[in-house]
């Protein structure tokens, strides 16, 4: 265990750390593929219609498979304890539970009450509404929140932290996190990509600092998951484009700063300001904890 840690710390050019970080991204992709294969194969053979059961099974499989891959890589390849990767019980969980709801609700309220747009509701059948809600819970919230945080704030952040320290470990995975979301955009323009990278990096830094402050990726996974559930879950969609959500608020503003461009309100200025406020909260809490730790050291010495 100590040998593996020293190997990463004294890796002259950081190539081993970069390799492990790349493997983290590969694990994320492979986990998603392995979870989809049996489900897609079954429905491809049987020709059955997609049911609510599939919407639950696929994300649950993704969580289980990716969690197992991360566990095996950390314990068998890196041979380090999970606690070092902040895969453990969180601290200050009440604060982050509150924050996980307050952030997306305030951002949503800003758009609905303070920006011009048109509110509408769908006329879907109850069965379709149930499918949308289940997808929001199991896919957008649980699967995305848990798997992405295990990889980015768990595996990748810590291998970079061992070699280069917290600052690099927070920023680099956050930039990568933002850039990977470019794949979710349809025919983006340069301005859209730039806005997304800025917003994606900001939200990545926010999740990273929550994980560091709480000493657990489960706190950042919770904030991440609930943000996804409320903002992109398909129950209420706030966007400049037409929507297939249960409820929609279509923005009439053409400003990319306000509507987030091709990626949507997650990349908007109001959302980025929200990320900044949570980042500030996390930094203040970390500073307070450091001060308490310093004070306790001096007290014990006296």
Residue 144 CA to residue 226 CA, distance in Å, equals 10
Write the Ramachandran bin of 165: left for phi over 0, alpha for psi from -120 to 50, otherwise beta: left
> What residues are paired with 182 via a beta bridge?
none
pLDDT for res 298: 47
Q: Residue 110, SS3? A: helix
Instruction: Give 116-157 as a 3 state SS string.
Output: CEEEEECCCCHHHHHHHHHHHHHHHHHHHHHHHHHHHHHHHH
Query: Residue length, the chain?
Result: 302
Q: What is the mean pLDDT of each run of 10 residues along the chain (302 residues)?
A: 56 81 94 90 75 86 96 94 95 96 97 95 91 95 96 94 92 86 76 89 96 97 98 94 91 91 91 97 91 56 50
Six token digits for residue 193: 């990509």
The answer to whether the CB of 233 falls within 8 A of the CB of 141 is yes
Global pTM reads 0.90
CB 236: neighbour CB atoms within 10 A?
Answer: 19
Instruction: Quote the pLDDT of residue 285.
Output: 95
Q: Is the Cβ–Cβ distance between 132 and 245 less than 8 Å?
A: yes
**What is the rounded distance in angstroms from the CA atom of residue 164 to the CA atom of residue 20?**
14
Exposure class string for 29-41: b at 16+ Cβ within 10 A, else e: eebbebbeeebee
Q: Residue 183's pLDDT is what?
A: 75
Contact, 248 vs 168, CB < 8 A?
no
């Amino acid at each position: 265990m100590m040998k593996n840690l020293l190997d990463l710390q004294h890796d002259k050019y950081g190539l081993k750390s970069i390799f492990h970080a790349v493997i983290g991204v590969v694990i994320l992709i492979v986990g998603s593929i392995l979870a989809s294969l049996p489900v897609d194969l079954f429905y491809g053979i049987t020709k059955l219609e997609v049911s609510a059961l599939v919407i639950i099974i696929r994300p649950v499989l993704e969580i289980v498979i990716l969690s197992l891959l991360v566990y095996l890589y950390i314990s068998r390849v890196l041979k380090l304890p999970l606690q070092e990767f902040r895969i453990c019980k969180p601290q200050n969980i009440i604060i982050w539970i509150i924050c996980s709801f307050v952030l997306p609700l305030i951002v949503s309220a800003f758009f609905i009450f303070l920006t011009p747009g048109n509110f509408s509701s769908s006329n879907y059948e109850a069965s379709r509404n149930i499918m949308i809600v289940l997808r929001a819970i199991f896919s957008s919230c649980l699967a995305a929140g848990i798997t992405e945080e295990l990889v980015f704030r768990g595996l990748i952040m810590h291998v970079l932290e061992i070699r280069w320290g917290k600052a690099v470990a927070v920023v680099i995975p956050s930039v990568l996190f933002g850039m990977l979301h470019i794949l979710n955009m349809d025919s983006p323009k340069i301005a859209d990509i730039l806005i997304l990278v800025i917003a994606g990096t900001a939200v990545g830094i926010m999740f990273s600092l929550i994980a560091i402050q709480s000493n657990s990726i489960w706190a950042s996974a919770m904030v991440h998951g609930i943000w996804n559930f409320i903002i992109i879950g398909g129950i209420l969609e706030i966007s400049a484009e037409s929507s297939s959500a249960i409820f929609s608020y279509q923005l009439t503003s053409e400003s990319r700063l306000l509507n987030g461009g091709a990626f949507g309100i997650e990349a908007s200025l109001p959302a980025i300001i929200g990320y900044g406020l949570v980042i500030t909260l996390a930094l203040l809490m970390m500073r307070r904890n450091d001060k308490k730790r310093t004070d306790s050291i001096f007290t014990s010495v006296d």
